[in-house]
Amino acid sequence: MIRWPGHVKPQQSDSLAMSIDLAPTLLVATGLKPTPRMPGINLLDSQTVAGRTAVFGECFTHNSKDLNQPAASLRWRWMISSEPGTIWKLIVPSRRNEPKGHVELYNLSADPTEEHNIAAEQSERVEVMQKKIDAWWPANI
């Protein structure tokens, strides 16, 4: 993701990262400090990266319906969870904008192209992950 010879050591990682991590990482790399309210983590801090076990996100309709109420345009909420040896992804449709949508669960370690929805076979895992998504962004917002 970042190439800066003499400043950043080249490396690869299987740890969870998101695009929101770029800003705090670049700020730290250039000697500046991210604000406490800035989302994301510094990807150059291996201890912080190793401690991250989940990332969350959302997908919206192309044209926002109401900038003051993001849920009006929400289509899906999702979570990727890292456990020893396995990475899981749960996708939860918004009942408002995806009324016919189905919850999807993928074992990204075994199915990286998300071809086999295993939500029906893994209902307990779906329930645990859905609670985490709801804690991050409640479904009723």
Contact predicate 66/78, CB 8 Å: no
Distances (CA, A) of 90 to 30, 38, 49, 79: 35, 25, 21, 5
Give tens-digit pLDDT for 4-41: 788 777 777 788 999 999 999 999 988 999 998 999 99
Residue 55: how many CB atoms within 10 A of its CB? 19
DSSP per-residue string spanning 82-112: EETTEEEEEEEE-TTT-TT---EEEETTT-T
Q: Is residue 141 a part of any domain in this protein?
A: no
Residues 28 and 59 placed together within one structural domain of the fold: no
Is the residue at 32 inside a domain?
A: yes
Same domain, 31 and 58: no
pLDDT the model gives residue 117:
98
37 and 83 housed in the same domain: no
Together in a domain, 42 and 58: no
Residue 46: domain span: 1-52
One domain for residues 81 and 33: no
From the list 27, 52, 22, the residue with the least C-alpha distance to 40 is 22
Tell me if 121 is assigned to some domain: yes
Q: Are residues 39 and 59 in the same domain?
A: no
Does residue 122 sit in the same domain as residue 80?
yes
| Segment 43-65, tens digit of pLDDT | 989 899 989 999 999 988 877 76
State both tokens at 92. 């939860």
Return all residues near 85 (Cβ < 8 A) that are at least 6 apart.
Answer: 109
Q: What pLDDT was estimated at residue 22? A: 92
Match 């912080």 to its residue by tokens.
48
Judgement on whether residues 19 and 60 belong to the same structural domain of the protein: no
CATH number, domain of 113, equals: 3.30.1120
Check if the beta carbon of residue 108 is closer than 8 Å to that of residue 87. yes
Q: Are 34 and 58 in the same domain? A: no
Mean predicted lDDT score pLDDT of the chain: 89
Q: Per the structure block, which two tokens stand in for 35?
A: 């604000």
Q: How many domains does the chain have?
A: 2
Q: What is the pLDDT of residue 1?
A: 62
**Are 65 and 124 found together in one domain?**
yes
